[in-house]
Amino acid sequence: MSDTTAPSTRRTISFLLPVYDEAENIEVFHAALVESAAHLEDRYDVQFLYVDDGSSDGSLAVLKGLHDRDPRVVVLALSRNFGHQKAVTAALDACHADAAIIMDTDLQDPPRVSLDLVAAWEAGADVVYAQRLTRDDSAFKRATAHVFYRVLTRAASIDIPRNTGDFRLLDRKVVDELRLYREHNRFLRGMVSHVGFTQVAVPFHRDKRHGGSTGYPISKMVKLAGDGIFGFSTAPLQLISRVGMAFSLLSLLGIVYALVVRLAYPENAVPGWAFLAITLFLIGGVQISMLGILGSYLGRVYVEVQDRPLYSVADTIGDPW
Ligand code: UDP
Ligand code: MG
């Protein structure tokens, strides 16, 4: 981390750009970004802070090439793949600009939209999040995202705006607050909502990924969804007692039924081993699922107690400000 200040007294904007195996996208992306950023440079000093998240396809070499050609490019190389959320965290930790714009580097977040984000910031907003009107993703991704946002809005105790990713502008004071959030299972967009301040949305159309393939396969999406729900809500824990109560009530009804049958028709015993076996399995299944919820929280507590560093930086190329 560097504490150097910007070379001039002009206000500064830093683009925070996580990169994981984007070798075939970086050049095109950077060209588009530079073109949009040109509209800001009459008023601001602009920096492009790329974080190479342990890419294995030569992205780092491409980024070094960018730095050699463009002094506004700074590169943080993480020591391995830590995941998108931690790559962005590394960038937030290194950034000292007046505003930070977090953006994917696969051209799904169109660079020109960043101008709208800056305009809303200049109008007084502290957080400007880009909200997807449409998304050119697969039907599966759209469906899972839809369910996820529904569950999240219902379960989480804070209001996380729908259809937003991590594409957003953050004012300096928001970045400073976010740096205090050191949880290991990170869900940045939840943390940004949690921080508060004036937040506004700017609508945009999300494009297709330019090249390569997603760095968010289903396993990572499920993990992120878990971080969102477990990290911002204790509703699943309350669910345990609710399910427990529902089952107690059911068994009470069962007792009443058995008693009535026994007293009214003493010649007919209450039928059933099948009923017994099914109920046993049902209760066993529910109990183990509930243990799973407890386990999810316990696992998170364990990781927090270990308190390892969130990421390790192997190399810094250029001077982040
Ligand atoms: N990314 C990263 N580390 C990872 C996975 C992804 O830094 O482990 C970056 C990736 O290069 C991209 C952004 O995070 O700039 C979003 O990832 P991706 O496009 O793969 O996700 P999707 O848009 O499919 O949800
Ligand atoms: Mg993408």
The model's pLDDT over 140-157, given as tens digits with 9 standing for 90+, comes to 878 887 888 788 888 876
Tell me, in angstroms, the distance from the centre of ligand 1 to residue 228's CA: 17
Tell whether ligand 1 has an atom less than 6 A from the beta carbon of residue 224: no
Where along the chain do its domains lie? 11-216+310-317, 235-306
| Three-state secondary-structure class, residue 212 | coil
Q: Which two tokens stand for residue 61?
A: 């070499």
Cα dist from 38 to 7, 33, 122, 194, whole Å: 18, 8, 17, 33
pLDDT tens track for 65-74: 999 999 999 9
Least confident of 46-55, 69-78, 277-286: 277-286
Tell whether ligand 1 has an atom less than 6 A from the beta carbon of residue 121: no
Tell me, in angstroms, the distance from the centre of ligand 2 to residue 214's CA: 6
pLDDT tens track for 125-138: 999 999 988 777 77
Phi, psi dihedral angles at 262 (to 5 degrees): -60, -45
Atom 25 in ligand 1: residue holding the nearest Cα: 216
Residue 1: predicted pLDDT: 45
Atom 8 in ligand 1: residue holding the nearest Cα: 83
Tell me, in angstroms, the distance from the centre of ligand 1 to residue 186's CA: 15
Tell whether ligand 1 has an atom less than 6 A from the beta carbon of residue 84: yes
Q: Which of 77, 24, 27 is nearest to 49 (CA)?
A: 77
Average pLDDT value for residue range 98-113:
94
Tell whether ligand 1 has an atom less than 6 A from the beta carbon of residue 105: yes
Instruction: Write down the architecture of domain 11-216+310-317 according to CATH.
Output: Alpha-Beta Complex (3.90)
pLDDT tens track for 184-209: 999 998 899 999 999 999 998 888 88
**Ligand 1 atom at minimum distance from 215 CA:** 20
Angle at the Cα of 139 from the Cα atoms of 133 and 145, rounded to 5 degrees: 60
pLDDT tens track for 220-247: 888 888 888 888 888 888 888 888 888 8
**Ligand 1 atom at minimum distance from 165 CA:** 25
> Amino acid identity, residue 273?
W
Q: Which two tokens stand for residue 87?
A: 């790559």
Tell me, in angstroms, the distance from the centre of ligand 1 to residue 177's CA: 24
Query: Any long-range contacts for 57-64 (C-beta under 8 Å, 24+ apart)?
Result: 57/21, 57/22, 57/23, 57/212, 58/23, 59/19, 59/20, 59/21, 59/22, 59/23, 59/26, 62/23, 62/26, 62/27, 63/19, 63/26, 63/317, 64/317
pLDDT tens track for 243-259: 888 888 888 888 888 88
Q: Which of 55, 84, 311 to mutate to test the pocket of ligand 1 (most atoms within 8 A of CB)?
A: 84
Tell me, in angstroms, the distance from the centre of ligand 2 to residue 130's CA: 14
Q: Which of 94, 298, 22, 104 is nearest to 185 (CA)?
A: 298
Tell me, in angstroms, the distance from the centre of ligand 1 to residue 22's CA: 9
Q: How confident is the model at residue 8 (pLDDT cuts 50, 70, 90)?
A: low
Q: Which of 12, 7, 4, 10 is nearest to 169 (CA)?
A: 12
- Radius of gyration for the chain, computed over Cα atoms and rounded to the nearest angstrom: 25
Tell whether ligand 1 has an atom less than 6 A from the beta carbon of residue 83: yes
**Ligand 1 atom at minimum distance from 19 CA:** 11
Tell me, in angstroms, the distance from the centre of ligand 2 to residue 107's CA: 7
Task: State the Cα–Cα distance between residues 101 and 298, nearest whole angstrom.
Answer: 34
Q: How confident is the model at residue 313 (pLDDT cuts 50, 70, 90)?
A: very high
Residue 282, pLDDT > 80, answer: yes
Least confident of 77-86, 218-227, 267-276, 310-319: 267-276
Tell whether ligand 1 has an atom less than 6 A from the beta carbon of residue 55: no
Residue 285, pLDDT > 50, answer: yes
**SS3 readout for 43-112:** CEEEEEEEEECCCCCCHHHHHHHHHHHCCCEEEEEECCCCCHHHHHHHHHHHCCCCEEEECCCCCCCCCC
Q: How confident is the model at residue 159 (pLDDT cuts 50, 70, 90)?
A: confident
- ipTM score of the complex? 0.96
Ligand nearest to the CA of 217: 1
Contacts of 107 (CB under 8 A, 6+ apart): 25, 28, 29, 32, 207, 209, 210
Residue 269: predicted pLDDT: 66
Average pLDDT value for residue range 64-93:
96
Residue 251: predicted pLDDT: 84
Beta bridge partners of 313: 78
